[in-house]
Structure 1
């Protein structure tokens, strides 16, 4: 896989994406946890469990412990979901800040059995959390306006990601790409390229029961 991220900026971009996700999660209330999300079959509670587990897993990978399954386990968050999300976000940002070289190996077992260089792993995390920030905002029907510089930096990378049969496989991080409208904004193009419909809205009164799954969101 050949994807280029700039080591001098990728951690800053990741911090922006994660902080943007924290802003959205901070708006979640106990009345929102059963709302559906753009991640098919997942409620807000399911999505938050996934997001906490991924932060903890990536933090472990940054510390050389990514092959330990425990940090990747989706937790039951209960009424402390927002607080646990904030703590996990702080944990992963601190872990990434301590990475001293772009080629430090990150073991990400949910993606591949072989390790990725740090610059690529942090790039994956950045894209994931920009999109998941929108997932939370869309589920809560909140206005979402991401940092233009963040979108501009990530869009070329997203458009270069493979979009073949592997996106339909179980555990794929994203669904097959969707066609974008001619007048689509850069962020709408990014969402469409990753299989999200920028026009997605929750059905009136919809609720999604169930527990968080130990798979990556699509």
Structure 2
């Protein structure tokens, strides 16, 4: 399966998770410290918008990367922005020589080859889908769905393994935390989460 198809599949799985979110759940805590579910979803929708702009040659404009309010329809906002991103990546990929993308929120901003940008967003999509599922108390279903598709799971793990992990790259305020140790029997999704500093066993504090 081609990377663009894997990315589309990742968005489908993420959209299914977000589709279960109820408005009253937007206040729930998430594995992203200090980010309630609403903030996480607004960030995800903003990233869809930013990557779509980048695929169409306008990634340098930081206005495209702002968080987008989801109001009372988080599922609809996520789905619509995901559809626009899928179309933008498809348009970029159809070019005889895909242009390089400017991604101001990643490293030095690039420019990056299209495939690398798609890989970045595939990782972002599945990890934030897990964040949402963990906030809702049901991450195991998403993990199982990804791991039932070995190519998708392997791509997630490979991209996670390529994320810089030096002290400066994982300092406070950065997108990812320090690499965590995991049990040797951990599956590819949990290993990817640990590589990014996520705790695969994260759960909402008991009330």
TM-score (normalizing by structure 1): 0.85
Q: Could you say which residue in structure 2 is the equivalent of 1:110? A: 105
1:71 Cα offset (Å):
1.6
Comparing 126-135 with 161-170, which one deviates more in the overlay?
Answer: 161-170
Measure, in 1, the Cα distance between the counterparts of 2:44 and 2:160.
20
Summarize the alignment of residues 86-97 of structure 1 with structure 2, pairs less than 5 Å apart.
86-97=79-90
Q: Could you say which residue in structure 1 is the equivalent of 2:159? A: 157
Structure 2 stretches lacking a partner, 5+ long: none
Measure, in 1, the Cα distance between the counterparts of 2:33 and 2:54.
27
1:60 Cα offset (Å):
0.2
Report if aligned partners of 1:22, 1:85 keep a CA contact under 8 Å in 2.
Answer: yes
Q: Does 1:132 align with 2:128?
A: yes
Summarize the alignment of residues 52-201 of structure 1 with structure 2, pairs less than 5 Å apart.
52-99=45-92, 100=95, 103-111=98-106, 112-142=108-138, 143-144=141-142, 145-148=144-147, 149=150, 150-169=152-171, 172-201=174-203
Q: How many residue pairs were aligned?
A: 198
Q: CA RMSD in A?
A: 1.7
1:193 Cα offset (Å):
0.8
Structure 1 runs of 4+ off > 4 angstroms?
A: none
Q: Choose which of 10, 19, 24 in structure 2 pairs with 1:17.
A: 10
Measure, in 1, the Cα distance between the counterparts of 2:78 and 2:97.
26
TM-score (normalizing by structure 2): 0.89
Report if aligned partners of 1:102, 1:118 keep a CA contact under 8 Å in 2.
Answer: no
Measure, in 2, the Cα distance between the counterparts of 1:44 and 1:35.
5
Comparing 111-120 with 90-99, which one deviates more in the overlay?
Answer: 111-120
Measure, in 2, the Cα distance between the counterparts of 1:24 and 1:175.
24
